[in-house]
Amino acid sequence: MHISEGILTWPVLASGTAFAIAGTAIGLKKLKTQDIPKTAILSAAFFVASLIHVPIGPSSVHLILNGIVGILLGWAAFPAIMVALSLQALFFQYGGITTLGVNTLLMALPALLCYVFFKPFILGKNNSITLAAGFTGGAFSVFLSGILMAAFLVFAHRNFLEVSMAVIAIHIPIMIIEGIITMFCIGFLKKVQPSLLGT
């Protein structure tokens, strides 16, 4: 779900970059020393998940994993995702340098919202609620990323409205897959290493 260079207007790029920098600064400030290895591993997982992708117009479809990244990292999802996207742009030309801020924002903001909305349910004692929150968080993060991408494209060019709707529709299977992956990851971590969830 990368927006390529040359698609967005400069005001949209500047706004996205400003918000991404602010989020990354807050994430770095809140990042604890003991959480750096966990952040690095999740950033690497996010990086690898995007290596297999299918181009769709000005975007692409691939696993994202921003839901699980957000649930486990909170604000630190911003620097983790920005590092992964920077490496993808430099090594594989996914997205681009000028769109790095926008791409970071459209993936890291939903990740942060997953942390805010679903982490309390995941930390509860009811395993069924934990699994449901994991699934919903994984699916919600992809859905919100699609909505943000559609908004960025429409703000840039009105003629991208149809493409934006297609991007959201194409990501519906990804939402389900991400929900299932996140649900199993959260369930597994809660059994074997609950400290990673902050319990």
pLDDT in tens, 111-140: 999 999 999 999 888 989 999 999 999 999
- pLDDT value of position 11: 87
pLDDT in tens, 145-172: 888 888 888 877 766 667 667 777 777 8
Question: Is the entire prediction scored with pTM above 0.75?
Answer: yes
pLDDT-based confidence at residue 94 (cuts at 50, 70, 90): confident
Burial letters 148-162, b for 16+ CB under 10 A, else e: bbbebbbebeeebee
For 10-197, CATH gives 1.10.1760.20
Domain boundaries, the chain: 10-197
> Please, are residues 157 and 171 in contact by the beta-carbon 8 Å criterion?
no
- pLDDT value of position 56: 59
pLDDT in tens, 4-36: 777 888 888 899 999 999 999 999 999 999 999
